[in-house]
Amino acid sequence: MTQLHNMTVAQLAQTLQTKQASAVEVATAFLARAGGNPHNAFLDINSEVTLAQAQASDARIAAGTAGALEGVPIAHKDVFVTRDFATTAGSKILSGYRSPFDATVVQKLGAGVNDQNGAGMVSLGKVNCDEFAMGSANENSAYGPVTNPWDTSRVPGGSSGGSAAAVAARLAPAATGTDTGGSIRQPASFCGITGIKPTYGRASRYGMIAYASSLDQAGPMARTAEDCALLLSAMCGADLDRDSTSLDVPAENFSAKLGDSLTGLRIGIPKEFFGEGLAADVRTTIDAALKTLEAQGAKLVPITLPRTELAIPVYYIIAPAEASSNLSRFDGVKFGHRAKDYTDLVNMYKKTRAEGFGEEVKRRIMTGAYVLSHGYYDAYYLQAQKIRRMIADDFQSAFAECDVIAGPVAPSVAWKLGNNASDPLADYLADIFTLPASLAGLPGMSMPVGFGKGHMPVGMQLIGNYLQEARLLNVAHQYQLATDHHLQQPEGI
Q: Which residues, 193 to 212, sit near ligand GLN by CB under 6 A?
A: 211
Q: How far is the C-alpha of 242 from the C-alpha of 274, rounded, in Å? A: 41
Complex with ligand GLN: residue 121 or 137, whichever CB lies closer: 137
Strands (E), 2-135: 42-44, 73-77, 112-113, 116-117, 122-127
Other C-beta atoms lying within 10 Å of the C-beta of residue 263:
9
Nearest partner of 413 among 450, 456, 460, 462, judged by Cα: 456
Complex with ligand GLN: residue 90 or 407, whichever CB lies closer: 90
Amino acid identity, residue 361?
V
Catalytic annotation, pick one of 57, 99, 136, 159: 159
183 contacts ligand GLN (rule: CB under 6 A):
yes
Complex with ligand GLN: residue 26 or 319, whichever CB lies closer: 319
319 contacts ligand GLN (rule: CB under 6 A):
yes
- Is 397 catalytic? The answer is no
Bridge-partner residues for 178, per DSSP?
218
- Is 325 catalytic? The answer is no
CA atoms within 13 A on the CB side of 96: 4
Complex with ligand GLN: residue 75 or 230, whichever CB lies closer: 75
Nearest partner of 315 among 417, 179, 177, 465, judged by Cα: 179
Q: Work out the end-to-end distance of the chain between its first and last CA atoms, rounded to an integer number of angstroms.
A: 18
The single residue among 69, 121, 133, 218 that binds ligand GLN, judged by CB under 6 A, is 133
- Is 77 catalytic? The answer is yes
- In the complex, what is the shortest distance from the CB of residue 121 to ligand GLN, in angstroms, rounded to a whole number? 23
CA atoms within 13 A on the CB side of 237: 17
H-helix or E-strand spanning residue 446: strand 444-451
Q: Which residues, 22 to 61, sit near ligand GLN by CB under 6 A?
A: none
Taking every pair of Cα atoms in the chain, the longest distance, rounded to a whole number of angstroms, is: 70
Residues 6+ apart with CB under 8 A from 397: none
Catalytic annotation, pick one of 99, 160, 163, 183: 183
- In the complex, what is the shortest distance from the CB of residue 175 to ligand GLN, in angstroms, rounded to a whole number? 14
Give the nearest residue (CB) to ligand GLN.
183
409 contacts ligand GLN (rule: CB under 6 A):
no
The single residue among 38, 73, 118, 135 that binds ligand GLN, judged by CB under 6 A, is 135
The single residue among 70, 78, 84, 179 that binds ligand GLN, judged by CB under 6 A, is 179
DSSP letter assigned to residue 4 = G
134 contacts ligand GLN (rule: CB under 6 A):
yes
180 contacts ligand GLN (rule: CB under 6 A):
yes
The single residue among 431, 441, 442, 463 that binds ligand GLN, judged by CB under 6 A, is 431
157 contacts ligand GLN (rule: CB under 6 A):
no
Instruction: List b or e across 215-229, with b for residues whose CB sees 16 or more CB atoms inside 10 angstroms.
Output: bbbbbbbbbbbbbbb
Complex with ligand GLN: residue 123 or 180, whichever CB lies closer: 180
Nearest partner of 41 among 123, 126, 125, 127, judged by Cα: 127
268 contacts ligand GLN (rule: CB under 6 A):
no
Complex with ligand GLN: residue 133 or 289, whichever CB lies closer: 133
DSSP letter assigned to residue 121 = P
What value, to the nearest 5°, has the Cα angle with vertex 257 and ends 255 and 258?
65
107 contacts ligand GLN (rule: CB under 6 A):
no
181 contacts ligand GLN (rule: CB under 6 A):
yes
224 contacts ligand GLN (rule: CB under 6 A):
no
**Active site positions, annotated:** 77, 159, 183
Binding site for ligand GLN (CB under 6 A): 133-136, 159, 179-183, 211, 319, 431
